[in-house]
């Protein structure tokens, strides 16, 4: 957890305290930022209240008085349902809304446009993150931000508390575009690790030897290595649930338009079978189970 922030007096609200949102909120509290949290499940905010966050009873209450509002909700429908049922009208003047979940480009643009008509004084920043549970807990997320430059002063201490690096990419929508490309790369790496492990076992190769052959060389990608270890150990405790990884892959396929992405299309079908078999809430490493059952 990071400490020492430059955000004296800044009021931050985090809406959505699942795996990622709760880790973000803890780091904001640890950085000395006044942090209010809200989640549709009140049980998800209890530990954060004990850690020093103020727990709001409603999204409207969380947004009221906040200088920066972070939404870390899983889908575009969830973001729209929560924010446009009341909270979007309750922003303070010149507040900043950092939309940090992965919801795709069309939905991001639609939400930004809707907000601009409802509250033109609110600064909307499209800022999805790259990273899972571990990086989130240690304040090491990569933040892919796009939006008005005027939002940066308020966001600098916030992003500094939750991320290792913020890349500003231009106008709203650019962050979501980059996130889809980054997650497509990550997804291929993880499916590749799953299939390499499956092949190794079918060939009678011990998993530890596969690790030894890859470790320290040009093929040693940290994310693939981490998931390979989870697969070897049969550890599917969620860090990035497979159902949300599949959602991101499908968003990438949709964004690509009429020209197919054959590898991602096949991967989507493969992961969908694992989700339909009941592994959606498990970690993305559960992609391995779709292979093992065949």
Give the model's confidence band at 53: pLDDT under 50 very low, under 70 low, under 90 confident, else very high: very high
Whether residues 48 and 79 share a domain: the answer is yes
- List residues bridging with 16 in a β-sheet: none
Q: Which of 146, 171, 196 is the last residue of a domain?
A: 171
Report in angstroms the alpha-carbon separations of 194 from 10, 33, 37.
Answer: 44, 40, 36
Note the pLDDT tens digit of each residue in 210-246.
988 998 999 989 999 999 999 999 999 999 999 999 9
Q: Is residue 141 one of the residues assigned to a domain? A: yes
Please state, in angstroms and rounded to a whole number, the distance separating the CA atoms of residues 39 and 10: 21
pLDDT tens string 70-112:
999 999 999 999 999 999 999 999 999 999 999 999 999 999 9
- Classify residue 102: in a domain, yes or no: yes
- Last-in-domain residue among 118, 137, 171: 171
Same domain for 43 and 101, yes or no, is yes
pLDDT in tens, 107-146: 999 999 999 999 999 999 999 999 999 999 999 999 999 9
Residue 119 buriedness (CB in 10 A; 0-12 / 13-18 / 19+): middle
| Partners of residue 43 on adjacent β-strands | none
pLDDT at 4 over 50: no
The mean pLDDT of 191-207, rounded to a whole number, is: 95
Whether residue 3 is predicted with pLDDT greater than 60 in this model: the reply is: no
| Domain that residue 204 falls in | 177-292
Whether 50 maps to a domain, the answer reads yes
Catalytic residue among 179, 227, 230, 247: 179
Same domain, 140 and 204: no
Judge if 51 and 154 occupy the same domain.
Answer: yes
Among 124, 144, 171, the domain boundary falls at 171
Let me know whether 79 and 27 are in one domain: yes
* Residue 210 shares a structural domain with residue 67: no
Instruction: Give the SS3 label for residue 77.
Output: helix
Strand order in the sheet with 34-38: 54-55, 34-38, 11-15, 68-71, 96-99, 123-126
Active site residue 227: no
């Amino acid at each position: 957890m990071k400490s020492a922030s430059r955000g004296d007096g800044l009021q931050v609200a985090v809406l959505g305290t699942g795996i990622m949102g709760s880790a973000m909120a803890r780091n904001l509290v640890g950085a000395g930022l006044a942090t209010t949290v809200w989640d549709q499940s009140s049980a998800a905010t209890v530990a954060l209240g004990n850690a020093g966050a103020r727990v709001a009873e409603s999204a409207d209450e969380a947004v009221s008085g906040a200088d920066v509002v972070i939404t870390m909700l899983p889908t575009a429908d969830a973001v729209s349902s929560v924010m446009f049922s009341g909270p979007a009208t309750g922003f303070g003047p010149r507040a900043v809304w950092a939309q940090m979940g992965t919801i795709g480009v069309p939905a991001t643009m639609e939400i930004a446009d809707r907000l601009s008509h409802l509250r033109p004084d609110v600064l909307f920043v499209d800022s999805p993150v790259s990273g899972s549970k571990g990086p989130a807990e240690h304040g090491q997320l990569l933040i892919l931000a796009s939006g008005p430059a005027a939002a940066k002063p308020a966001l600098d201490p916030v992003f500094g508390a939750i991320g290792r690096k913020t890349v500003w990419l231009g106008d709203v929508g650019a962050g979501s575009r980059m996130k889809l490309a980054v997650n497509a790369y990550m997804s291929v790496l993880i499916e590749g690790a799953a299939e390499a492990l499956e092949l190794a076992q079918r060939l009678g190769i011990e998993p530890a030897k596969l690790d030894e052959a890859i470790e320290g060389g040009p093929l040693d990608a940290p994310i693939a290595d981490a998931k390979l270890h989870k697969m070897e150990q049969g550890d599917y405790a969620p860090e990035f649930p497979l159902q949300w990884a599949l959602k991101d892959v499908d968003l990438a396929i949709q964004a690509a338009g009429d020209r197919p992405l054959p590898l991602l299309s096949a991967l989507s079908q493969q992961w969908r079978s694992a989700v339909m078999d009941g592994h959606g809430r498990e970690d993305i490493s559960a992609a391995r189970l779709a292979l093992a059952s065949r």
